[in-house]
Amino acid sequence: MESSSIVRYLDDLRKALGITPGFSPRIVLEIQDHLISSAETHVQNGVPEELAIELAIEEIGSPRTIAEAILLTYSDESSGESTPIPLESRAITRRTSMIALNVVGIGWSAKPYDKMQRSDLETNLTFKPSPQDLDLRVIIEGFEGNPFVLMSDETGDRKLPIFIGVAEAIAIALSLQGINTNRPMTHDLIARLLSSLDDLQIERVVITRLEDKTFYAQLELEHSGEAVTVDCRPSDGIAVAIRLGVPIFAEEALEGVFIAA
């Protein structure tokens, strides 16, 4: 049982969650399964199909209610906007389970974020981790719209696209394809800084949360045996991580925003 009312409801839910139309992360799939199961139950109890769907939608509550609750669940409640979190406790608490990420490539979406379809993920994937001739003009002039970095979990089943800036897209694409520029670019400099200090070690980059349509990340460092975390944009973190061969993770709590296979 699939109805236009259910489709519309799920679209509203995606909008309230701030995710791209057509994407179906876990919460969307669960709500879809729920609505169909619930409507089917009503039909079995003798309710006409049209009404059954309406009832199911009414009983589940508004998309906004669900979205607010789910975003609250996955936002990092322990971190205030500007207050630094005690590093020690953070380092310990975040050793739970995280999702290891591979960078699949840099893609380009000519459509605005909210018009992007799931299929755009693969078809617009331009720069993959393989050496080939890279013409920077292709990145700067050859595409319309916005670049995104596409990541996947270890199995490749779950995907996580994050829209990023053009400069960061170039930085990631260069590194993915093993291209060295004559002079160190900004992310090369950051990577060199991190690797040139003896008592400083970069452990990993972690995508920590999604808040108000913005992904947050942090560099996790060890300085003279002490854990240090540095707030960063995911794109900067990824650009640095792939230069240094440092693993990239997403908090397990972000699982709900991944796109399932």
Partner 1 sequence: MRKDPVRGQLDLLLLAILSDGPAHGYAVIQELHERSNGAFDLHEGTVYPALHKLETEGLLSSKWSTAGGRKRRIYALSQKGRTALQLQAREWSGFVSAMRKVLEA
Considering the complex, state which of residue 34 and residue 223 has its C-beta at the smaller distance from partner 1: 34
Considering the complex, state which of residue 188 and residue 255 has its C-beta at the smaller distance from partner 1: 255
Instruction: Name the minimum Å distance from CB 70 to partner 1.
Output: 4
Instruction: Name the minimum Å distance from CB 68 to partner 1.
Output: 8
Radius of gyration of the chain (CA): 21
DSSP structure string for 170-219: HHHHHHHTTPPPSS--HHHHHHHHHHH-TTEEEEEEEEEEEETTEEEEEE
Q: Which helix (H) or strand (E) holds 58?
A: helix 49-60
Instruction: Name the minimum Å distance from CB 63 to partner 1.
Output: 8
Instruction: Name the minimum Å distance from CB 104 to partner 1.
Output: 21
Burial class (CB in 10 A: 0-12, 13-18, 19+), 153: middle
Interface contacts to partner 1, rule CB under 8 A: 26-27, 29-34, 36-38, 41, 59-63, 65-66, 69-70, 72-74, 96, 252-253, 256, 260
Instruction: Name the minimum Å distance from CB 14 to partner 1.
Output: 14
Beta partners for residue 147, in sequence order: 108
Distance between CA 129 and CA 97 in Å, rounded? 27
Considering the complex, state which of residue 70 and residue 162 has its C-beta at the smaller distance from partner 1: 70
Strand, helix or coil at 260?
Answer: coil
Considering the complex, state which of residue 34 and residue 213 has its C-beta at the smaller distance from partner 1: 34
Distance between CA 196 and CA 111 in Å, rounded? 41
Considering the complex, state which of residue 127 and residue 215 has its C-beta at the smaller distance from partner 1: 215
